[in-house]
Chain A
Amino acid sequence: MRSQSGVFWRTFGKACRLAVNLLIFAVFFVPFYWMFLTAVKNLGQTLRLPPAFWVSAPHWENFGKVFDAIPFFSMLKNNLVMTFGIMICQFFTVIPAAYAFARFKFAGGRFLFGLTLATMMIPAQLVFLPLFLMFSKMGLVNSYASLILPWATSSFAIFMLRQTFKQVPQELIEAAKLDNASEWKIIFKLMLPIAKPTIVTLGLITFILNWNDYFWPFVLTTNNAVRTLPVGITSLNIVDGGVKYHILMAGNVLLVAPALAVFLFAHKQIIKAFTYMGGK
């Protein structure tokens, strides 16, 4: 009796877990599938009701139409310059700031850190106008500088990295001091390797956030020479009248493909970032 009900509950538990997993999978996967599916439909198929969940003859030419409609490669280049420009800038601003906040006591340190956190709470809609005016006064609108400089640092990343640095036991740093390590050695040989998973994760978040960013590049640029892919892709929406979802989605596939690839390569590191401290 008992063992039978035991088997029942165990099977039931497994089934439940499977169902939940499938649900989670669906929530994440279906939008991607839908995007890809729409990208290879033709106009008629995108408008049909009820929608088809499979197309037997994919319209690959939709991707070609994207290249015809917008200067895809120059926009891709702009996207790359912006995203990597931001990542490089953040590397040089975030790490020293986080390290200083975590390890040094200096006058006004706590106040400055509070200020840094406070900037996370200001909505973008509040600052875009003054920011735009500031950039236009300096003649920086429509330049790479206008795409990169607003994001040259990140209070979120400073906060996260500071927490990571703070978690490093004081004993470790003292051991390094007794081992004759200079402050620079401690940073490069000890702290940064320990914080590597966090840094990689932050880099990835920065990449994805900025790669897909629409609002700021749209506000701060007015011509295609410096416009980025998300702005370009959105403009596909209105290519010679009428909403062309299939072309739009083809553009979106091209846009997210790099981000997806990066994520697939780095997901191990990300998981590590969130489990490192537990498994010391």
Chain B
Amino acid sequence: MTGIELRGVEKAYGGNKPVIENLDVQIEEGSFTILLGPSGCGKSTILRMIAGLEKETAGEIFINGIDMRGVSPGAREIAMVFQNYALYPTMTVKENIEFGLKNIKVPKPEREARVGEVIEMVGLTEYMNRKPQHLSGGQRQRVALARAIVKKPKVFLMDEPLSNLDAKLRAQIRTDLIELHRNLGATFVYVTHDQVEAMSMGTDIVLLESGRIRQQGAPESIYSAPKNLFSAQFIGSPPMNIIKAENLEHGGASLPPGTVSLGFRPEKVIVSGEGRAPERGQISFRGELVAREILGDHAIYKFKTAFGCIHTKTMSGSTVEYGKWSVRVDAKYLYYFDEKGDVIK
């Protein structure tokens, strides 16, 4: 069943040209859906329209089958976690968390119980009576989460909630969020421009570019079957290697008709001694290793070739020395793109 549905939604700010046009999105109930895309593509705008903080200029939004037109943000049974936490500075941690319950007049005993339970869940019991400015970034983040959880919403909306945290804390809260999602069974809609966050947490990714959906699907399918160049290059780190087809054809390779460029993932590249002839069904490039990053369990190399730079990623194994090498990739790992950038099957 669909949790959230956008039908033909359009949004224009002021008299400007619309940033989102005729957008259809379906978000499964209980899914952890990521709105992923580069800065300025309209992710926050979409989230804010779902929350009712921004009014769509055309189209309809449904939450659990109910048309949200004219429904105020407070009445949508949603909770939102903001990038800068948006904690009420004059209230204590406890007051911050119970504010929403007080406003809908939850009776005191029930309120106390719910607030206590949630504070304990996020591990802030001893900070209950502190003001937000006396908490660390991670603690503030947890207050923001607690404030959302306590309302028992059907939908959690999060707008880059981890971007103000350091890398370690980010990784930790990422797993916390996955756990939380599994425990609550609510629908999560999570906005980010970081594909690592998207891949690690999402059950469903909506990849956006300037207000349009470029691909939607499970992380694995977006990774293994990108529909277009944009998707291929946005997902994966380092991104997919892209090579112009015309250069290759001079080298005598035969490609599907209409191919303008082709790509392969850095993980699929094999590095071997220079001059070694390619085996059947492989293409090979001669190149020079110009940079390498050894990252413990894996390493990333950058080769300069006649066809442009090629990144490769190898799991463990021996370190490749600087010098001239031959990099090869199996044809079955190649993706072909036409002049519109769409993948050729």
Q: Chain A residues in contact with chain B, CB under 8 A?
A: 169, 171-172, 174-182, 185, 189-190, 193-194, 196, 279-280
Contact = CB atoms under 8 A, between A and B. Distances in A.
Given A171-B84, A181-B74, A193 B100 contact: no
Interface of B: 51, 53, 72-75, 78-80, 82-84, 86-91, 99-100, 103-104, 133, 147, 151
Contact of A178 (B73, B84, B90): B73
A172 B88 contact: yes
A171 B89 contact: no
Contact of A180 (B90, B91, B104): B104
Contact of B103 (A171, A185, A194): A185
Contact of A179 (B83, B90, B100): B100
Contacts of A193: 90-91
Contacts of A196: 90
28 contacts: A169-B84, A169-B86, A171-B82, A171-B84, A172-B86, A172-B88, A174-B53, A174-B80, A174-B82, A174-B86, A175-B87, A175-B147, A177-B74, A178-B79, A178-B80, A178-B100, A179-B103, A179-B151, A180-B74, A180-B103, A180-B104, A181-B103, A185-B103, A189-B99, A194-B90, A196-B90, A279-B133, A280-B133
Given A193-B90, A280-B89, A178 B99 contact: no
Contacts of A172: 86, 88-89
A172 B51 CA distance: 14
Most A CB contacts (10 A, CB to CB) among B78, B103, B104 go to: B103
State the main secondary structure of chain A at its contact with B. Answer: helix
B155 to A, nearest CB: 11
The 7 closest A-B pairs by CB, nearest first: A180-B74, A179-B100, A193-B90, A171-B86, A180-B103, A175-B86, A171-B82
Contacts of B104: 180
Nearest to A171: B86
A176 B100 CA distance: 8
B101 to A, nearest CB: 9
A175 B103 contact: no
B70 to A, nearest CB: 15
A175 B133 contact: no
Nearest to A192: B90
Contacts of B87: 175
A185 B104 CA distance: 12
Interface centre among A169, A171, A190, A280 (most CB of B within 10 A): A171
A193 to B, nearest CB: 4
Contacts of A280: 89, 133
Given A175-B87, A181-B74, A181-B103, 19 more contacts: A169-B84, A171-B86, A172-B86, A174-B51, A175-B82, A175-B147, A177-B74, A178-B53, A178-B73, A178-B79, A178-B100, A179-B103, A179-B147, A180-B74, A180-B103, A182-B103, A193-B91, A194-B89, A196-B90
